[in-house]
Structure 1
Amino acid sequence: MPFTSPMTKLGPLGSSIRRLFSTTAETNARQYRTVVQRQLKEQPQLYEGFERPRNLMIPKEIPQYPAYPYGESRIFKRADRGLYGGQVITFGNQISEMKNKSRRTWLPNVITKSIWSDALQKSVKMKLTARVLKTLTKEGGLDNYLTKEKPARVKELGLFGWQLRHDVLKAKKLAEQKQIKNYEILKNEKGEDVKVYFKGFYQGENVKLTVGKRKLLTKLFPVVKYNTPGHLTFSAFSVPRKTTTISDVLKECEQYKVDLKDVCL
């Protein structure tokens, strides 16, 4: 009896199944075309001196914290994740009554506590040793302990304490800047109190500005952008003027003839 394939018994369905599993040259060519179409587009190679494309973003890696002068702990790694006060693991022998020695280790007495920071206005949960907690209480708080300028104190802070110290000093500096008033309160024509940030001359007249440097730059930016060829963003416009004073910005406004009637008293 002649052999009949199971595909033949299925009729038209069998022929379609055979086409699905076909390995002919046409199928291989189709698969090759699919692979070729999925190839990645060649990226242009950039060399020094080439003009950077507009769509190419180069991120700036700005460190969040300054470098710790004493570096990371090499002996006791976990000391970089809390306030250990320079304490590390110690090694020694456990001696029995028969003078038998067996090696052992001693770990610092570490506790986990949430300590309030006046500068950060929040509780900071951390791991610290009992010795550091005693010193911290003696110093009068977490901020006083962290901000002490003694080299021995800075050395015992560790990486975690150094970063926390930076946050505390930054918060204190911002608080001091908020307390300094860089404006003067005067009365306008309606008898209302108005903050005056700068007094000077503009286009030959004595003016009193009721806005700060930032808002004055926003008034100047559209005019400079219109007179500058190419695409100018506000960040590219404001960064070079970061260290300039309000009087310098006012002179530039006078050069471009910017209307400042709505921000003058």
Structure 2
Amino acid sequence: MSSLSGMRSAVQRVSSGRFFSTTRSTYARKYESVVNRHIAQEKVYEEGDLKPWHLRIPDEAPKYPTYPYGEARIFKRSDRGLYGGQEIGSGFQVSSMGNRTPRAWLPNVITKRLWSEALNRLVRMKLTARVLRTITKEGGLDNYLTKDKSARIKELGIFGWHLRYDVLKAREESVKGANYEVVKQGEDGEEVKVYYKGEYKGQPVQITVGRRKLLSRLFPKVQYNTPGELRYAEFSVKHAKTPFDEVVKECEKFDVDLSDVVIGTEVRQASE
């Protein structure tokens, strides 16, 4: 009788399919270990303390600040890419008869080259498919790296922390070295970049293109009025350190048409 009931229960399991747990997913439980990470506590040595035997004083200052959450203690390779806190997954492979076989699986890691606006180059890295979806959702690699939420910083790892520092530093340098001013134009307040404010052909104007585009408009006029052969490479090198106002004067001398890159004075600064 017992064998018959056992056969019936086995048939019912086969016909009803697999049984799934109602608990949280494995990824949700794994991600808790990332969110709940604490800042590594390090002993602070003061002047006059004895130097421990294991403490090495570097010859040069480190290039990057110390990652506050330290190295990964379980999945070491996650420090060499953007893994988003994912680690080796573990669970059971359940057969149609209900047999549970332990198994493990690695994150879906891919190698990609992503564009960084701040660094102005492609960055080659290893990242998981989930992080790639998050980067697309955030609107780019820079936005993903520079988000200030604590959970985002915890899942960056050492590789992402260093890349975040490079992006923030490049943004800071670009703001310091900017040779233009952002102004608002028209009633809708459209922002435009102004590289030069002054007079052109006796009219007060503001030029909205930089040196390179201005030289590309000036070159055909200069080439036509210069005897012999003049190449653009030689022309650009010659005017590489020429002040912007002198380039504008040369454009005025050769009667270069700048009507499509010039705006009037009816603009206001973006900070107003």
TM-score normalized with structure 1 length: 0.45
Name which structure has the greater RCO, CA cutoff 8 Å, separation 6+: 2
Query: Over alpha carbons, which structure has the higher Rg?
Result: 1
